[in-house]
Structure 1
Amino acid sequence: MLNNMNQCWRVAFISHSPHLAGAERSLANFILNIDRERFSPITILPGEGPLKKILQEAGIPCFNVQFSFSTMNSTIQTAIGNNIKKEIDIAYELADLLLALEVDLVVINTGVVVSGILAAILSNLPKVLHLHGIIGPGLFPGLEVRHWRAEEAFMLANSDLILAPSYWVKSFFQDTFSIEPQQIRVIPNGIVCPTSYKNLEEIGDCRRFVQLCTLEPNKNIIMFLEAARQVVMEGKKNVEFHIYGDGVPAYCEKIEKFIVDNGLGKYCYLHPRTQDIENIYNNCYAAVVTSQIESFSLVAIEAMSYGRPVISTKCGGPEEIIVNGDSGFLIEQNNAKELAEKMCWLIDNPEKASHMGRTGRLICEEKYDVRRLSEIYMKSLSEVCENFWLKKKMTKNHFLWNVREGLINLLVDTENSVSIKNEKIQVLTNNNHFYINSENENEQEKEIYIEHALPLPSPIITGKRTYKVKIDQSNWCGIKVMFGTHQRVNQGTLSIRIYSAMKRSFPIRTLEISLSQLPDNAWVWLKFDPIKNSKDHNFIIEFQTNYLDHSSGISIYEWQKQKYVLRGISKKVFFRNTFGLYGAYIFQKKLE
């Protein structure tokens, strides 16, 4: 059994978006600062975007699966309607990928990808649900709250650990769903504090206030613009208000209309979402958050890390980040007048604004440095993996436990494996016999079952032939097949692919054999890298031939089963019939 000092856990991180909003930037910060000797990260995203680009540049494998936001589909509601099949299909596709990637843990980043939880359940994998927000009608107008809370309850109940970015979020879920305190932990989102940045004294006379967010009603950008209008009306010089983000077209049009109708075109500027936050914060005077609900506020700690004061509404997460009057200001929601007053105060008091920025920087270094938080994050993931995997009872297995569906004899070897993957392999045979060494000295306490049959070869394989099998052991690493060559020296290759039986989306193992190597009417043992999470899963084994001439052709022997029970036999068991050994299949069973 391995311990956490030498175990490298393979973790699949499922992100609901390939873009770089707060939850995705937080995920990227944690993944990029994870210890690669302890964790091997993989990301699964619903498409192309800057998040994927950043992770790929860091050498993180990324895979695309087209899933959708659960809150948009209202999955539990549509279970009554028409779309639940689509959600389940996505879960099966995700489960196929998780099995193919042989992950040890699934982290679902945000609570809007129910198919991620379903896929982890189907794959029998431990699950960490990293919540980044509280979903409600304020964020998603028209949301059926009752149905959504039922879906949340399902996800929470099936998670091995729940992570929240703030105590405000933790309290909501504990109070709403009666979650045990030890099941949900608070790990704030972290950032890498820049080693150098411009002080406020270095940016010149322009007083630039910035807002970075998704352009949607919950962010309440109209409040920011109304406060900007009031600041301009106060006669403040050299002031600018910059908004960075993309969002709902109708809301973007509303923002643009407000700017035009109030003559703010010389003061207020809309910019698309950008990754160049260093340039934004280095050239701004302060950052502003006007949200109705904000579960954390990555913008607040980013601005603080550059030594900038932050003004935020009292909307949840920011109340745990900003020290009112020391590192910024906390104001009432929907109060544009109060926001305008705080912006004017910062303009009129540059020395105090600089002091606030320095205080915020110190708070950020102490509480939100991602390198320190990543240690807490990795410890939490390790605990889930250890509780799920390393504390399970491990059973030894020598050359079998008998899996026989689809009439193929399979070999499970959990201790001795050959690392062969996507390469040419050497064909092994066992000289036309198969036996087991018993480890029990008292043979009278054992029953030996023998199944055998005369062979019935399949038709000559042209194209593909598939078999479905169910594995009842982890670390499945081989198959044993009897081929018929029809007494020919066949030319060409045989490709063998192993898929999950759920969707067959991704091959888990691929082997290739030269047909000229195949013996006639003899066992062929094929080994591959162990599939460690194979227990209780159904697989498809696909054989595909590629003949080089018209005279070549092979078959696979398929058995008709007969069973005998023998008692008190010797330690080595052989079975032959007049045709040689055609499918002796032997296993041991202790008497009750």
Structure 2
Amino acid sequence: MSPRHNILFLHQSADLYGSDKVLLAVASRLLESQFHPIVVVPVDGPLIDELRRAGVECHIASLTRLSRGTMSLRGILGIPGELARSFRDIDALLQGRRVSVLHSNTLAVLTGALWAGRHRIPHVWHVHEIIIHPRLATIIYGHLLKWFADRIICVSRATCSHLVSNQASLASRCRVIWNGLDHRPPPRQAAIAAYREQLKACPGDAVIALIGRINRLKGQQLLVQAASQLWRRGIRNFRIVIVGSVVPGQEHFLHALKQAIAASPAAAHISVQSFTSEVWTVWDSCDIAVIPSTEPESFGMVALEAMAAGKPVVAAGHGGLTEIIVPGHTGWLVTPRNASTLADALQHAITDPSLRKRMGQAGLARYEAEFTLDRQMQNMVAVYDELVH
């Protein structure tokens, strides 16, 4: 049996949102291969618990992350010191073990590019973002990828196209690999009934779920506007649940959302809940998934989860979501940042339960055909094989 190759994963957070879940799935599945995953994150959090539960080696260490704050003069001046701490931490936790490939999960992780270059180790940069604003960030990331990435894994064709449109030389190094989802747990009927009761959903109500971090991009306020329009049209047999938390320091987004809900005529039918690890209870309990992102999503893991739960998806028609959802078959793609077209699609879904069921079944079939974790892992391992042989 050939020796296992160590794959060092560096990731910016320890939450359980999109890119976190992708890392968890990939690292866990690699345990069954010739590759040994070692995961490093800068903070403790639920991702650490899940990785350890799966048997994945993981560590907490200093990592240099790029952010809006880093783009300031003070942030730039602090980078050399942060990098030095990151390098010391990583070297210490490896204890002399050889790394075959370094995998930077998301563009925000700067340490990986420079540590891999210093040690002459192949570097995979896994791009989960489409960064449009600020323009300076787009330029900087393009050059970093050009200088420091041996392979670039893009989670969608839209992500790849955005990178190449800004830095054409990246095309030969880009590989488009759609995210995959592992087998979901079976629905728990008692939990579903309790959750719908918690939302005060009557038997004829359609429960609409939006799951995602509360920020300016995910479209929570746009959904509230659409709900207000539905209410004024006389469509009132719905309940909306918005599930997610804010990044520390961005509590103003949650405050603004609650203000918008309070001002809506549909306020009593809209709930906001903090992030939950019981995400499948939410998906199993809802009737419609909505992803009204105001800027292009690079992919959209929540769309896969909803489809795996057999739910139709109403989503903004840009970015990677256009590669997941088949309009009129598995859901609706609506005009981005337009509350009226969002309300129109939701009205169709609310008022036609049989259509919801057909679309949900079609979405489940599409997930099983195109977006399984097995399929993603086959493509990921092929990239690692290219670099170690």
Give the TM-score normalised by the residue count of structure 1: 0.60
The CA distance in 1 between the partners of 2:141 and 2:129, in whole Å, is 15
Q: 2:144 aligns with which of 127, 144, 154?
A: 154
Whole-Å separation in 1 of the counterparts to 2:234 and 2:270: 15
Distance in 1 between residues matched to 2:320 and 2:33, nearest whole Å: 33
Greater shift in the superposed pair: 169-178 or 43-52: 169-178
Aligned to 2:324: 321
Q: Distance in 2 between matches of 1:195 and 1:19?
A: 20
Does residue 222 of structure 1 match 2:212?
no
Displacement, 1:234?
A: 2.7
Aligned CA-pair RMSD: 2.2
User: Within 5 A, what are the aligned runs for 1:230-245?
Assistant: 230-245=229-244
Q: Partner residue of 1:92?
A: 87
**Aligned amino acid, residue 149 of structure 2:** S
Q: Measure the CA separation in 2 of the matches of 1:353 and 1:105.
A: 44
Is contact 2:224–2:264 with CA below 8 Å preserved after alignment? Answer: no
Q: Distance in 2 between matches of 1:335 and 1:115?
A: 39
Secondary structure of the 1:382 match is helix
Q: How does 1:32-51 map to 2 (within 5 A)?
A: 32-51=28-47
Change (3 A) 1:321 1:31: same
Shift of 1:99: 4.9
Aligned-residue offset at 1:266? 1.5
Q: Which residue of 2 aligns with 1:72?
A: 68
Unaligned runs of 5+ in 1: 138-142, 387-592
Q: Which has the higher strand share?
A: 1
**1:359 paired to 2:377:** no
Of residues 337, 340, 348 in structure 2, which corresponds to 1:334? 337
- Output the CA distance in 1 between the equivalents of 2:307 and 2:144: 37
Deviations 1:168-187 (A, max 9, x none): 11111112111353311011
User: Against the structure 1 CA distance between its residues 333 and 36, is the aligned structure 2 distance closer, same or farther, given a 3 Å change threshold?
Assistant: same
Residue type matched to 1:278 in 2?
W
> Could you tell me how far apart the structure 1 residues matched to 2:73 and 2:105 are?
23
Give the letter for the 1:284 counterpart: C
Relative to structure 1, the CA distance from residue 334 to residue 366 in structure 2 (aligned partners, 3 Å threshold; closer, same or farther) is same
Question: Structure 1 residues 151 and 369, CA, compared in 2 at 3 Å: closer, same or farther?
Answer: closer
What is the match of residue 175 of structure 1?
165
Alpha-carbon deviation of 1:132? 0.2
CA distance in 2, matches of 1:117, 1:91: 12
Matches within 5 A, 1:378-417: 378-386=381-389
Larger Rg: 1
Contact 2:11-2:106 at 8 Å conserved across structures: yes
What are the superposed Cα offsets for residues 150-175 of structure 1, whole Å, 9 maximum, x if unpaired? 34412342111110010011111112
Query: Paired residue for 2:155?
Result: 165
Q: Deviations over 1:529-576 (max 9, x none)?
A: xxxxxxxxxxxxxxxxxxxxxxxxxxxxxxxxxxxxxxxxxxxxxxxx
Question: What is the one-letter code of the residue matched to 1:133?
Answer: E
Judging changes above 3 Å, is the alpha-carbon distance between structure 1 residues 350 and 148 closer, same or farther for their aligned structure 2 residues? closer
Letter of the aligned partner of 2:224 in structure 1? L
The answer to whether the 8 A contact 1:111-1:152 is kept is no
Which structure dedicates a bigger proportion of its chain to helix?
2
Letter in 1 for 2:152: I
Task: Answer whether contact 1:71 1:148 (CA < 8 A) is retained.
Answer: no
CA contact (8 A) 1:224 1:336 kept: yes
Q: 1:69 to 1:380 in 2, by over 3 A?
A: same
Whole-Å separation in 1 of the counterparts to 2:137 and 2:309: 42
**Structure-2 residue corresponding to 1:20:** 16
Alignment partner, residue 463 of structure 1: none
Shift of 1:126: 1.3
Using structure 2 for the length normalisation, give the TM-score. 0.90
CA–CA distance in structure 2, aligned partners of residues 193 and 360 of structure 1:
15
Partners of 1:91 and 1:116 within 8 A in 2: no
Alignment CA distance shift 1:98-1:36 (3 Å): farther
SS at match of 2:322: helix
Partners in 1 of 2:76 and 2:298 — Cα distance? 31
Instruction: Tell me if structure 1 keeps the 8 A contact 2:64–2:79.
Output: no
Identity rate, percent: 24
1:312 and 2:315 correspond: yes
Aligned match of 1:251 = 253
The offset of 1:46, in angstroms, is 0.8
Whether the 8 Å contact between 1:168 and 1:316 is mirrored in structure 2 is yes
Partner of 2:199: none
- Closer/same/farther in 2, CA of residues 180 and 252 from structure 1, 3 Å limit: closer
* Alignment CA distance shift 1:10-1:252 (3 Å): same
Equivalent of residue 182 in structure 2, options 188, 192, 215 = 192
